[in-house]
């Protein structure tokens, strides 16, 4: 009924930058909060950043000043611009969205994840 598809991950060196994208599609009436989570091997999934429908943002303390979350409501897309990346091994970034569908139901949707590896 609703899909979230992430893109933009890759392998890069410390200090580099990436821009992740996540596009929602399907029977969407509106999207409320959208967020980015990440999970490293052997660790729990953690919230990285969240943005409300009106553009209010919150970030994990360790990424403040380096990451920027944004959204384009016309495209049903959320972005995560990541600068000054620190070493992290094979971390999967997931997007999440609270969605109201056209038939009036509310869903919490997750993307399949996009892999980010930062190594020297």
For each successive 10 residues of the chain (120 residues), what is the average pLDDT? 96 97 97 97 96 97 97 97 95 98 96 97
pLDDT recorded at residue 66: 98
- The span from the CA of 107 to the CA of 85, in Å, is 32
Nearest in space to 50 (alpha carbons), one of 118, 108, 90: 108
Count Cβ neighbours within 10 Å for each residue of 101-112 and write b for 16 or more, e otherwise.
beeeeeeebebe
Rounded to whole angstroms, the Cα distance separating 24 from 49 reads: 17
Instruction: Please report, in angstroms and rounded to a whole number, the separation of the first and last CA atoms in the chain.
Output: 41
Query: Can you give the pLDDT at residue 13?
Result: 97
The pLDDT score that the predictor gives to residue 12 is 97
């Amino acid at each position: 009924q609703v899909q979230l598809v992430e893109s933009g991950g890759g392998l890069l060196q410390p200090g580099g930058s990436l821009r992740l994208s996540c596009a929602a599609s399907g029977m969407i009436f509106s999207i409320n909060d959208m967020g980015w989570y990440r999970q490293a091997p052997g660790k729990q999934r953690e919230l990285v950043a969240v943005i409300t429908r009106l553009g209010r943002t919150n970030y994990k303390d360790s990424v403040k000043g380096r990451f920027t979350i944004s959204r384009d409501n016309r495209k049903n897309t959320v972005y995560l611009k990541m600068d000054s990346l620190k070493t992290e091994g094979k971390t999967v970034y997931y997007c999440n969205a609270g969605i109201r569908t056209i038939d009036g139901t509310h869903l919490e949707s997750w993307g399949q994840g996009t892999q980010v590896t930062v190594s020297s």
